[in-house]
Each structure stands twice: as C-alpha cells, then as structure tokens.
Amino acid sequence: MGALEAVILTIITASTPLLLAAIGELVVERSGVLNLGVEGMMVMGAVCGFAVSYSTGSPYLGVLAAIAAGVFMSLLFGFLTLTLVANQVATGLALTLLGLGLSGLIGESFVGLPGVKLTALAIPGLSQIPFIGPILFGQDILVYASFALVAAVSYVMFKTRTGLIIRAIGDNHTSAHALGYGVIPVRYACVMFGGACAGLSGGYLSLAYTPQWIENMTGGRGWIALALVVFSTWLPKRVAIGAYLFGAVWIMGLYVQAAGVGIPSQFLSSLPYLVTIVALVIISGNKTLSRVNTPACIGQSFVPDR
C-alpha cells in the first residue's frame, strides 16, 4: 500500500501542471483563438515564480508572480493577434521561442539555487488517515485549485450566459458581433485567463514539482497541454481525465526505468509524446469525433466591420 500511495502521489504532481495549462487553453480555444505559445507562457511562469519566491522567501508571492508572467505573455499574444490581426499560429510559435529564450536569460543567475517549496495543506485529522489521507487531504493548494478550475470552467462554459457567449464567439464570431457581443474584448479576457493558467502551471513546476530553476524545465509539457485540449474534444471533464492519463504514462515510464526493466530509457522518456501523437492520429482519423465540440472559428482572425 505504501508503494501504491507513493505512485499515486507522484502521478498527481506530474498531472497537475498539464491540467492547469490545458484547462486555460481550452477556454482560449473555445473563444475561437488558437494560442500555440503555451510552452513559452509556462516557462516564463516557472522562472518568474522561482525568482520572486527565492528573493522574498514566500512561495505564495511566487505563485502570483507566475500568474502575472503568464498574463503578460498572453497580452503580448493578444495585442499581436487580436489588435494587429497577426497570424495566430506564427505568433504562438514566436511566443514560445521568446519565452524559452527570455526565461533562460532571466533565470541564468538562479540556476542551481535551492528553491522555496510550496508546502502541502495538511488537514488535521483527515490527512492522517492511512492511504486516503495523504492522497485526498495532504496536497498543496495548486492541486486543489486545478480541480476547482475544472469545475468552475465546466459550470461557466455550459451553465451560464457568459459561457454561451464565449462558445457563440468561437463558433461564429460574425453572428456574435452582429448580435452586439464584443468579440475582441471577450477573446482578450479568454486569452488572459489562458495565460494565467499557463503561468500558474509553470509556477507549479518550479515551486512544487521540483523547487528549483532549470532552463527549459517545462520539457514540452505545453505542447502536451495543447494536445490534451484536442484529445478531450474541448470538454473540461475530459481534460482532467486526459491530464491524469498522460501524467500516469509519464510517471510509469520513470518507475519502469528505476525497476531496471530491459527497455531502452530513451523509449520510455519519449513515451508521453508518443502517446500524444497516437491519440491525435486516432482523433484526426475519426471525422465525427474530430468535429464534435470543435469551435468553428478557431484560429480565424476577426476584424469588426463597424
């Protein structure tokens, strides 16, 4: 039971950054915007969160700094694509390259320094319950925040007028504009929310997952988060399932390596990315599945005619 508990706890920590980044990108894409800069926003959140927490000694200030970094990067993307109507795919790729380069520059002096770890919220009495206690009641605040975000996004997106407007803009921005809805302001708000989630995801990596700064420490998680949105067919609950599925694949590969199984370590390290590719191929091959819930205007620029 102790070994199983350790595996489950490790899967939770590995899945949380994927879930945080993917749930934010889901909202962005539901509004009709395709932001491929998730990796760049994540790594900027990681370095800024670590820098502020190391300088102040407070991991919670580091969390706020990570969110702010993600929002700043998302506003840059929004200005280029929503205001200046630049190509969303090219801008997203450029944002990732900018984030990777800028984070390396900012974090150069922090490499190798010990970080300030975000401590777990041990609930008295409940966290001491064998097996269940540490898993359900002994996590840090960002793990609980990830589930709260999934529930909140699911409710807002499908149970409120705000969610209906977001989905309407993503499906047909011209008709939504004709009905009087502000397409650009709504998309800006969604892009900022996605940036905040991506920055928070990066902050989790440097403050909770491995409390230190390593250049390019996101390790491609932003691209997996993008794939998770498609994998989940733009549904929040499926994003959570997919994030934990991919997190489990990631961690089980590490455990297999540690057990000395005769499988090349390079193959096991690439397993999460191979699973991502296979999942996307399966979804793309099924025309019905690929059309379900897909925002019709995703990636399309909008210029108000009046």
How many domains does the chain divide into? 1
Distance, C-alpha 286 to centroid of its chain = 25
- Give 238-276 as a DSSP string: HHHHHHHHHHHHHHHHHHHHHTT-SS-HHHHHHHHHHHH
- Classify burial at 123, counting beta carbons within 10 Å of its beta carbon; exposed 0-12, middle 13-18, buried 19 or more: middle
d(C-alpha 51, C-alpha 118), whole Å:
14
Task: Tell whether 7 is covered by a domain.
Answer: yes
pLDDT given at position 1: 58
In a domain? residue 296: no
- Residue 301 is assigned to a structural domain of this protein: no
pLDDT given at position 290: 65
- For residue 161, pLDDT over 90 is answered with yes
Residue 109 lies in a domain: yes
Q: Contact, 297 vs 171, CB < 8 A?
A: yes
Q: What is the DSSP letter of 286?
A: -
Q: How many angstroms separate the Cα of 284 from the Cα of each of 90, 223, 230, 288?
A: 22, 17, 9, 9
Residue 137, domain extent? 2-291
Q: Quick check: is 278 in a domain?
A: yes
Q: What rounded mean pLDDT belongs to the chain?
A: 91
State the CATH number of the domain containing residue 31. 1.10.3470
Residue 60 lies in a domain: yes
- The answer as to whether 67 is a domain residue is yes
What pLDDT does 235 receive? 93
Is pLDDT larger for residue 198 or for residue 265?
198
Q: With contact defined as beta carbons under 8 Å apart, do 151 and 280 qualify?
A: no
- Separation of alpha carbons 80 and 86, rounded Å: 6
Residue 79 pLDDT greater than 80, yes or no: yes
For residue 279, name the pLDDT band (cuts at 50, 70, 90): confident
Residue at 18 is within a domain: yes
pLDDT digits (tens, 9 = 90+) for 288-299: 766 778 899 999
Residue type, 130: P
What was the pLDDT predicted at 208? 94
Nearest Cα to 251, choosing from 278, 271, 266, 232?
Answer: 271
What would the mean pLDDT of 198-211 be, rounded to a whole number?
A: 96
Average pLDDT (148-156) is 97
Q: What pLDDT does 194 receive?
A: 98
